């Protein structure tokens, strides 16, 4: 093999490493201008991502360096011939045990993060006690059902529940939980900025929690090819202060229960039920 081929095989790993290192500078890395994740759990997930990237980068650079060295040496010395061996037991043990140990380390290292993210027992208690909304994915939109102000979300829709489509409001700085459902096929609730992704499955109600750590308008997309209108399932999650969030719910109540005569039906019902209770 000529030296030209050695350079050819050297070029690709170098190009891969350089483009990987440049990715954050040119916007090819994490979403939102490579900003830090907008949730505390997301920041921990990014940490795990970088650790795995580092491990794979070391292995990749190491094996490529050995490959190029072997090619270069072979191209320098045309008298040295390759020999055929049936295998090397010791070598095979080494390259089985080292990746095995690395994988075992990663599997154990990420267990806490996985538990905090997915196992309900480890969710923040306040979030579990008061889910803020039920999120229903359907072909091809997201529907949100909030409980009436001051009430708790019930498994079945209530007369005074509040609804919105493709716009979910949540307060920042505190853990919130949603109940995720699908009305038809399999969808996936994906908040790239918060590093949250969970499939929505027909017949199941799946709790998902997150804690947004900064205000903003973030994309909510469906990450499961769910039909011809899959691309239309782009919604937004609006992360705002607790006061703005409460205002939003108030406005939603007013819009939804306005009877056209200047009265808010929901409030009227409330005062009526209070009166009957007395
Ligand atoms: Cu979908």
203 alpha carbon – ligand 1 mean position (Å): 15
Contacts of 26 (CB under 8 A, 6+ apart): none
232 alpha carbon – ligand 1 mean position (Å): 8
Please give the pLDDT value at position 260: 76
Please give the pLDDT value at position 271: 45
The terminus-to-terminus CA distance of the chain in angstroms comes to 95
84 alpha carbon – ligand 1 mean position (Å): 54
pLDDT for residue 128 is more than 80: yes
For tokens 């060295």, name the residue. 69
pLDDT tens digit string along 24-64? 888 788 876 667 888 989 999 999 999 999 999 999 999 99
Please give the pLDDT value at position 191: 94
Please give the pLDDT value at position 124: 92
Answering whether pTM is above 0.85, one says no
Neighbours of 139 (CB within 10 A): 17
141 alpha carbon – ligand 1 mean position (Å): 7
- Taking residues 167-187, report their average pLDDT: 95
226 alpha carbon – ligand 1 mean position (Å): 5
pLDDT tens digit string along 59-115? 999 999 998 888 888 887 777 777 888 888 999 999 899 999 999 999 999 999 999
pLDDT for residue 214 is more than 90: no
245 alpha carbon – ligand 1 mean position (Å): 26
What percent of the chain has pLDDT above 70? 92
Average pLDDT, the chain: 88
- DSSP code of 205? -
- Taking residues 166-183, report their average pLDDT: 94
Please give the pLDDT value at position 83: 80
Provide the 3-class DSSP secondary structure of residue 42. Answer: helix
- DSSP code of 147? P
Q: How confident is the model at residue 187 (pLDDT cuts 50, 70, 90)?
A: very high
- Taking residues 215-233, report their average pLDDT: 93
220 alpha carbon – ligand 1 mean position (Å): 11
């Amino acid at each position: 093999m000529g030296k030209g081929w050695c350079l050819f095989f050297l070029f690709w790993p170098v190009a891969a490493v350089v483009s990987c290192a440049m990715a954050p500078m040119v916007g090819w890395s994490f979403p939102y201008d490579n900003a830090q994740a907008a949730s505390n759990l997301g920041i921990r997930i990014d940490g795990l991502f970088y650790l795995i990237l580092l491990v794979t980068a070391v292995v990749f650079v190491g094996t490529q360096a050995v490959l190029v060295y072997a090619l270069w040496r072979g191209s320098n010395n045309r008298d040295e011939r390759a020999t055929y061996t049936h295998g090397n037991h010791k070598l095979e043990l080494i390259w089985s045990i080292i990746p095995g140990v690395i994988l075992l380390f990663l599997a154990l290292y990420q267990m806490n993060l996985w538990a905090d993210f997915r196992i309900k027992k480890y969710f923040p208690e306040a979030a579990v006690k008061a889910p803020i909304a039920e999120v229903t994915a359907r072909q091809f939109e997201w529907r949100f059902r909030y409980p009436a102000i001051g009430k708790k979300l019930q498994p079945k829709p209530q007369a005074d529940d509040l609804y919105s489509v493709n716009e979910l409001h949540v307060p920042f700085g505190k853990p919130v939980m949603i109940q995720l459902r699908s009305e038809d096929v399999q969808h996936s609730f994906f908040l790239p900025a918060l590093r949250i992704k969970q499939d929505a499955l027909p017949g199941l109600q799946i709790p998902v929690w997150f804690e947004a750590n900064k205000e903003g308008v973030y994309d909510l997309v469906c990450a499961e090819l769910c039909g011809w209108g899959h691309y239309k399932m782009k919604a937004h999650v609006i992360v705002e202060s607790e006061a703005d969030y409460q205002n939003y719910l108030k406005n939603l109540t007013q819009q939804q229960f306005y009877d056209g005569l200047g009265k808010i039906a929901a409030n009227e019902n409330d005062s009526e039920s209070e009166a009957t209770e007395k």
